[in-house]
Structure formats: structure tokens, C-alpha cells
Amino acid sequence: MTALELIGISKAFGPVKANQDINLAIESGTVHGIVGENGAGKSTLMSIIYGFYEADAGQIRVKGKDVSIRSSAQAIALGIGMVHQHFMLVENLSALENVLLGMEGGMLLNEGLGAARAKLKHIQSEYGLAVDLDKPVGELPIGAQQRVEILKALYRDADILILDEPTGVLTPEEADQLFRVLERLREQGKTVVLITHKLREIMAITDRVSVMRRGEMVVHLNTADTTTDALAEAMVGRDVSFSLDKSAHTPGACKLAVKGLNFTDSTGVTRLKDINFELHAGEILGIAGVSGNGQSELLEILGGIYTADSGMLALDAGSVDLSKRSNPTRRREKGVGHVPEDRHRMGLVTKFEANENTILGYHYKVEAGAFMRRSKLIEQTEQQMKRFDVRPPNPRLKTASFSGGNQQKMVIAREIEQDPDVLMVGQPTRGVDIGAIEAIHKRLLELRAQGKAILLVSVELDEIRALSDRVLVMYDGRIMGEVSPTASDADMGQLMAGVQIEGSGQ
């Protein structure tokens, strides 16, 4: 039986044709993958199914019946649930309260909470969705927050579950746990639509896969009958290289040195403990570890966002006492660029136009006194967008209107274009498609070849291995050791779990 069918779906935003004559059939009780480059129209298509947008043309059928979906409430009533790439949760409310929002189910709140708790306990048991229902969502790890979103959909009796880039914010362990949940959903007869750019995940979990390119659906395949290479070529319309041409490691002078860095956060938890390392010209130093072990705080302190308890930062432009209040502008003036891990929270102002975000944090460099020449800025932004393949290349478009991967390319472009001596990069390819990953990796290696010093933080071990010359592994706020990027998974895993290994240098 066909759970969901799209016939001739089209959607345009002004001159941009996000979806063009899309036809798609998804069978009940399957996991169906949809892949494509950032800006290919995947999220727009899912937003039409979920009622956020209304198609300009075409028809939707749910379980064989023609339907009209003009709101998310109508989608939910039809048994469609959606877990968005950026979660729709209220952080200071408990998991239970988040699930219940809008569906309190009784005149008395306690009555609604009691009924909801009983139903959720059953759902958790049936699908393996372990979550502390009474804990504030903001205190839950990212993987648990995602499970809350899935619980919300199942609590509303969703038979069709759409997940938009669900592993973009997950550690490998959390992603594995999610896949176990998806397998259970499939076993129970639920239909899952998986939007992702990670082809290995497509090969591991889906039954069928559809490929989108530039707003069009280009091919539908049985997953067992295709390969990652074939999917990559269908996504971007050309051969994609999965290997990187990395020259021999020839480090130069020390460009950044961290000594005695300690940091305790506002809740009294010690996040960084006696951090010491050096970063040299012409090298990429990778920081590996499970998310939440101090990597984020390390970047933010070195970037001037937070103040440490103690520690010194040595740069070519002088030393910085990390225990004294600073700001990111001072770091930029000293030749340090910073691509933050969270592009929405720290990298962009999404309500601004693209051209305004190209100078965010560097506006002190803009000429012409107090007033910038908007025409010149727009022209420069258009050229920058073309160099970094930002789609659509429209400098006047609100940044919120770009896909997550194109937003990421904007942040990376802004920092690289400033020609920093040291570039700190957090999760450079989070939520980015395979074509953009290839381009970003090549850019970072080009900077390395130019003698730039790059500090790379990533939860993607494959990325750390491919790009890094040396790897530091963090656990519980400490650097557990230094290893080669060719170190075994067992050695890396031990350090990431807090177990010291022989020869790690720490």
C-alpha cells in the first residue's frame, strides 16, 4: 500500500523554483530516503507535505485519498509527523510538557499530564525511546532532545514520520541509537521519510531512495541496487571525489599556543581542565571527542566569546590573558578567524540579508565612515557567493531563506575571505551536502598549503582523519592524548572514553 504520494508538485518563491513537477510514491512500512544537495528543494518539499507551505500546483495523496494540507494541524490529523533539523522545543519545559503542548487533553492540567505520561510510557517501551520525561529539555543531550521530538509525533498518532537531516547534530553513538529506533518504527508498520545528505546512512537504513537536484526529482532507486558513488553523481550531476589530495605535513612556526587553560561554567561545572597545546603554520590540528566534552567551550574561549578561569593564549600578534574579559573583535584584529559550531546561535543573524552577514563581526573594517556603500557590499557579496557556490546567489535574500548548508558556506566564506593567519573551525560540514563537503574540505587544505594554521573541531571521525595532521582527543574537559589521524578506531575510542593509551603523548 502507498502511504504517501505526490503528483506534479511545484513551488516557487519569486523567481526561485524550489520544486518543479515532483512525483514521488512512498510505500507503507518502509524507510524512504530523499537525498540532494543543499538547496535542491528537499526541505521545501517536506514543508509542503507538513502544511508549512502550500504547493503552487500538484496533488497529495495519503493512503490513496486525495488530501489538501494547508497547516501542520491538518497534516497531524492525517497521521503525518515531522522532526525538524532544528528542534521545535521549549528548553525550560520538561520533556513531558513539550510533548503535551497544544494537546493538554482536559480541563485540568494534572489530568492531561497523567494521561500523557501513561501513553508516553507505552510508546517509549514499544519503540525504545528512552527519555527522562520530567527533566527540562534544555538539560537533555541533543540525542535525547531528538527523541522528544519523535515522541511528540508518535503521541499524536503519526503513521508517517518525516525526519529532516536527523543526524546533523548527533554524535556517532546517538546516530546509531536513532537508527535502532527507525528500525523499530519500520517493524511496527510506520513509514519513515529520511532527508539526509549522508550517503552511508542512506545505504545502511533505507529501503528506497529518491534523488533531487535543483528542484527536480531525478531518479528513484531500490537502495540495494545502487552505490554511494552513483548516488553522489546523481545528486550533483558530476563525479564526486571522496578522496583528498593532502600533501606531506611540513609544519612551520608556532602560530597559536594555549597554556594552562581552565574554565568553569555559570552552573559551577568545570568544562576545561589544564588545556595545553600548540598549533603550527601549515598544519591542521584536529580535536576529536564525543560532543559535550569541552570542545565547544574551547573554541568559544579562544574566540573571545567567554572568559576562562585561567590560561594564556600566545599569538604572533601578542599574548592574551584568557582570564580577562575580551571580545571576538580583538581576536579578529590579531588574525584569528572563527567558524562557530552553531551557525544560527553564533555565526549568523538570520533576519539579516545575506550581504549584511558577509561583514558580520568585520564591520569595523568597512570603509566610508559611519555609512557603508550598500551597492558595493552587494556586489562583493555576489562575487563571494559565486566563489563559494552559495545557492541561490542572491545577496538581498534574507539569510533565513537559505538552506542550512548554504548558510554554512556563507559563514566559512566570510571567515576565509578575511585571510586570517589562524582559522578555528567548529563542525565545518554539519548539515552540509556531499558536494559542499568536498568543496569545504578542499578550501581548508588550500589554506593549509598556504601556510595557514587551522584548528579543527569535529564529531565526524572520518573528517578528522581525512583533514588532520595531528589529532588531540578530548574527554571530560581534558586532552587525553595526541594520536596520528591513522590511529586505530580502538585507540581513538579508548581515548574518547577517557582511557589512557600508551604512546598518546599526554
Report how far residue 486's alpha carbon sits from residue 484's, in angstroms, rounded to the nearest whole number: 5
Q: What is the pLDDT of residues 5-51, one digit of tens each?
A: 999 999 998 888 999 999 999 999 999 999 988 778 898 999 999 99
Amino acid at 425: V
Report how far residue 273's alpha carbon sits from residue 270's, in angstroms, rounded to the nearest whole number: 7
Evaluate whether 2-236 and 254-496 have a shared fold: yes
Q: 3-class SS at 376? A: helix
Q: How many CB atoms lie within 10 A of CB 290?
A: 20
Task: Give the residue carrying C-alpha cell 544560527.
Answer: 344
Q: What is the pLDDT of residues 218-276, one digit of tens each?
A: 999 999 999 998 998 898 887 766 667 788 878 899 999 999 999 999 889 999 999 99
Is the distance from CB of 125 to CB of 133 less than 8 angstroms?
no
Considering Cα of 4, then 9, then 13, then 17, what sign does the dihedral take? Answer: positive
**C-alpha distances in angstroms, 296 versus 130, 170, 175, 405?**
26, 14, 19, 20
Q: What is the pLDDT along the chain (506 residues), one digit of tens a residue?
A: 899 999 999 999 888 899 999 999 999 999 999 998 877 889 899 999 999 999 999 999 999 999 999 999 999 999 999 988 778 888 889 999 898 887 755 444 555 677 788 899 999 998 888 899 999 998 887 788 889 999 999 999 999 999 988 886 676 667 788 899 999 999 999 999 999 877 888 999 999 999 999 899 999 999 999 999 899 889 888 776 666 778 887 889 999 999 999 999 988 999 999 999 999 999 999 999 887 789 999 999 999 999 999 999 999 989 999 999 988 888 999 999 999 998 888 899 999 999 999 999 887 776 554 456 788 899 999 999 999 989 889 999 999 988 878 899 999 999 999 999 999 999 998 767 777 788 889 899 999 999 999 999 998 888 999 999 999 999 999 999 999 999 987 888 889 888 887 766 65
Q: 3-class SS at 253? A: coil
Is the distance from CB of 51 to CB of 246 less than 8 angstroms?
no
- Length of the chain equals 506
Considering Cα of 387, then 392, then 395, then 401, what sign does the dihedral take? Answer: negative
DSSP-derived secondary structure for 423-468: EEEESTTTT--HHHHHHHHHHHHHHHHTT-EEEEE-S-HHHHHHH-
Is the distance from CB of 213 to CB of 236 less than 8 angstroms?
yes
CATH superfamily of this structure's domain 254-496 = P-loop containing nucleotide triphosphate hydrolases (3.40.50.300)
Spell out the domain ranges in the chain. Answer: 2-236, 254-496
**H or E element at residue 420:** none
Nearest to 102, CA basis, from 166, 158, 153, 47: 153
Report how far residue 477's alpha carbon sits from residue 464's, in angstroms, rounded to the nearest whole number: 19
pLDDT of residue 342: 87
**HEC sequence for 388-415:** CCCCCCCCCCEHHHCCHHHHHHHHHHHH
CB-side exposure of 113: number of CA atoms within 13 Å? Answer: 10
Nearest to 140, CA basis, from 97, 198, 190: 97
Print burial letters for 107-122: b (CB count within 10 Å at least 16), e (below 16).
Answer: eeeeeebeebeebbee
**H or E element at residue 352:** none
Amino acid at 149: E
Report how far residue 12's alpha carbon sits from residue 19's, in angstroms, rounded to the nearest whole number: 7
Report how far residue 234's alpha carbon sits from residue 219's, in angstroms, rounded to the nearest whole number: 8
Q: Which residues, 6+ apart, have CB-to-CB distance to 243 below 8 Å?
A: none
Considering Cα of 302, then 307, then 310, then 316, what sign does the dihedral take? Answer: positive
Task: Give the residue carrying C-alpha cell 586532552.
Answer: 479
Q: For 2-236, which CATH class?
A: alpha beta
pTM of the model: 0.69
Nearest to 441, CA basis, from 474, 416, 471: 416
